[in-house]
C-alpha cells in the first residue's frame, strides 16, 4: 500500500450562506468529478475513493462570506472579539461547550450566539456531513485560537482521544500554511520528540488554508498523524510549472489543495509563484466531545 493510500484526508470550504436547501443528489467528491464517476457522496470517504485508498475530498461551493468573517472577528458587539475582551483572555481560549473534566467528560455550557446564529458556524459544519458519525452529529466544543500574529505558529501535535476523531478548523483573517506530519525513527531530520517518538520534519501533506475556509481532519490524519503551523511571517510558493505541482519553498510536499483555492492572490501564487504575507489569523477548532454532563447533574451524582 502506498503511503498516500493510508491517509483519509478531507478538506473543504464552507457551504454558502443562507438557509440550507435539502440536496436531492449527493455532492460528488473531487476525484469522482475529475474522472466523471458516479459518486455516492458518502462522508468521510466515498466508495470509489475508499476502494482505491485515495484521500476523499469534497469541496462545497462557496467560502464563508466576508460579512460573516467580519461579524466574527471585526469587533462587533456580538462577535468573538467582544467575548475575548469580556473574558480577558489573550491567546488560547475555549470559547464554548464548557470545560473538559475527568475522564474526558465535557461539562456542557451553552454556545454563544455567534456560533449558533449568523454566520451559522454550527449549521454549516453539520451541512458538510463530516460530523454524521459523531455522538451529537455536530461540534459541541469550540476552541478559539486568538490570535496568530505573523511569525507565530503551532508545534506539530495531535488533538488526542478526548474528542470524536473529526476536527473542523476554520481560518479567519489571514491565510496560513498547515502541515501534517508523521512519527518516524530517529535521524538527522528529526524535529521533535514527543513521548519518546520522533516527528519527521518533512510533512506528509501540506495545505494552504485561505481565510474563511475550513479544513476537516479525520481518520488516520486525526488518529495517527500530527498537524502544525510553522512560525513564518510569509509563505513563499514555488509555482506549478506544468510538471511539478506547487510547493511551499523549502518543502518537497505538493500543496494538496492548490486546485481548490478561491482567492485571486492565493490562486496566482500557486500558478505563477509568489510570497503571501501572513496577517493576523484567528482560528476556530470545532470538535464533538462524546461524553457530556451538565454541572447540575454532575453535582447531584454526588
Ligand X SMILES: O=C(O)CCC(=O)C(=O)O
The residues of the shown chain that bind ligand X, judged by CB under 6 A, are 143, 145, 154, 159, 169, 227, 283, 285
> In whole angstroms, what is the distance from residue 182 CA to residue 270 CA?
25
Site for Fe ion in 251-290 (CB under 5 A): none
Cell of 86: 469580556
The listed partner (Fe ion, ligand X, none) that binds 206, CB under 5 to 8 Å by sort, is none
Q: How far is the CB of 176 from ligand X (least distance, A)?
A: 7
The listed partner (ligand X, Fe ion, none) that binds 283, CB under 5 to 8 Å by sort, is ligand X
Q: Which is nearer to ligand X, 58 or 180 (CB)?
A: 180
Count of residues touching Fe ion (by CB under 5 A): 1
Contacts of residue 129, Cβ cutoff 8 Å, sequence gap at least 6 = 41, 43, 58
The listed partner (ligand X, Fe ion, none) that binds 140, CB under 5 to 8 Å by sort, is none
For ligand X, which residue has the nearest CB?
283
Q: How far is the CB of 130 from ligand X (least distance, A)?
A: 16
Q: How far is the CB of 164 from Fe ion (least distance, A)?
A: 14
Contact present, 141 and 265 (Cβ < 8 Å): no
Q: How far is the CB of 178 from Fe ion (least distance, A)?
A: 10
**Alpha carbon distances (Å) from 13 to 10, 62, 137, 169:** 10, 7, 19, 10
Q: Which is nearer to ligand X, 37 or 83 (CB)?
A: 83
The listed partner (Fe ion, ligand X, none) that binds 145, CB under 5 to 8 Å by sort, is ligand X
Nearest to 216 by CA among 136, 297, 295, 134: 134
Q: Which is nearer to Fe ion, 211 or 228 (CB)?
A: 228
If you ran DSSP here, which 8-state letter would residue 163 be given?
B
Q: Is 159 in the site for Fe ion (CB under 5 A)?
A: yes
In sequence order, what DSSP letters do the residues of 168-222 get, joined into one string? Answer: EEEEESS-EEEEEE-EE---TTEEEEETTEEEESS-SEEEEEPTTEEEEEEHHHH
Q: Which is nearer to ligand X, 194 or 241 (CB)?
A: 194
Q: Which is nearer to Fe ion, 92 or 295 (CB)?
A: 92
> In whole angstroms, what is the distance from residue 122 CA to residue 132 CA?
13
Exposure b/e, 75-91, CB count within 10 A at least 16 = b: eeeebbbebbeeeeeee
Q: How far is the CB of 145 from ligand X (least distance, A)?
A: 4
Q: How far is the CB of 26 from ligand X (least distance, A)?
A: 28
Q: Which is nearer to ligand X, 48 or 283 (CB)?
A: 283
Q: Give residue for cell 510553522.
A: 230
Contact footprint for Fe ion (CB under 5 A): 159
Amino acid at each position: 500500500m502506498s503511503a498516500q493510500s493510508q491517509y483519509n484526508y478531507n478538506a473543504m470550504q464552507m457551504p454558502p450562506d443562507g438557509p440550507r436547501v435539502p440536496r436531492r443528489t449527493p455532492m460528488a467528491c473531487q476525484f469522482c468529478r475529475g474522472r466523471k464517476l458516479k459518486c455516492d457522496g458518502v462522508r468521510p470517504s466515498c466508495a470509489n475513493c475508499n476502494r482505491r485508498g485515495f484521500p476523499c475530498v469534497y469541496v462545497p461551493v462557496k467560502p464563508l462570506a466576508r460579512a460573516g468573517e467580519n461579524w466574527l472577528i471585526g469587533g462587533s458587539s456580538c462577535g468573538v472579539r467582544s467575548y475575548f475582551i469580556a473574558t480577558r483572555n489573550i491567546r488560547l481560549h475555549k470559547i464554548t461547550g464548557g470545560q473538559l473534566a475527568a475522564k474526558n467528560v465535557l461539562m456542557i455550557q451553552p454556545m454563544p450566539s455567534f456560533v449558533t446564529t449568523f454566520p451559522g458556524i454550527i449549521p454549516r459544519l453539520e451541512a458538510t456531513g463530516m460530523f454524521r458519525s459523531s455522538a451529537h452529529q455536530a461540534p459541541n466544543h469550540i476552541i478559539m485560537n486568538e490570535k496568530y500574529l505573523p511569525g507565530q505558529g503551532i508545534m506539530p501535535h495531535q488533538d488526542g482521544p478526548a474528542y470524536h476523531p473529526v476536527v473542523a478548523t476554520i481560518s479567519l483573517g489571514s491565510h496560513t500554511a498547515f502541515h501534517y506530519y508523521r512519527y518516524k525513527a530517529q535521524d538527522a531530520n528529526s524535529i521533535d520528540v514527543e513521548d519518546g517518538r520522533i516527528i519527521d520534519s518533512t510533512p506528509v501533506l501540506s495545505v494552504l488554508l485561505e481565510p474563511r475556509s475550513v479544513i476537516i481532519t479525520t481518520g488516520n490524519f486525526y488518529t495517527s498523524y500530527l498537524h502544525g503551523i510553522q512560525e513564518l511571517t510569509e509563505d513563499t510558493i514555488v509555482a506549478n510549472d506544468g510538471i511539478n505541482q506547487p510547493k511551499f519553498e523549502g518543502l518537497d510536499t505538493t500543496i494538496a489543495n492548490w486546485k481548490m483555492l478561491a482567492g485571486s492572490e492565493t490562486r496566482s501564487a500557486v500558478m505563477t509563484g509568489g510570497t503571501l504575507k501572513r496577517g493576523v489569523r484567528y482560528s476556530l477548532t470545532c470538535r464533538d466531545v462524546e461524553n457530556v454532563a451538565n454541572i447540575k447533574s454532575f453535582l447531584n451524582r454526588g
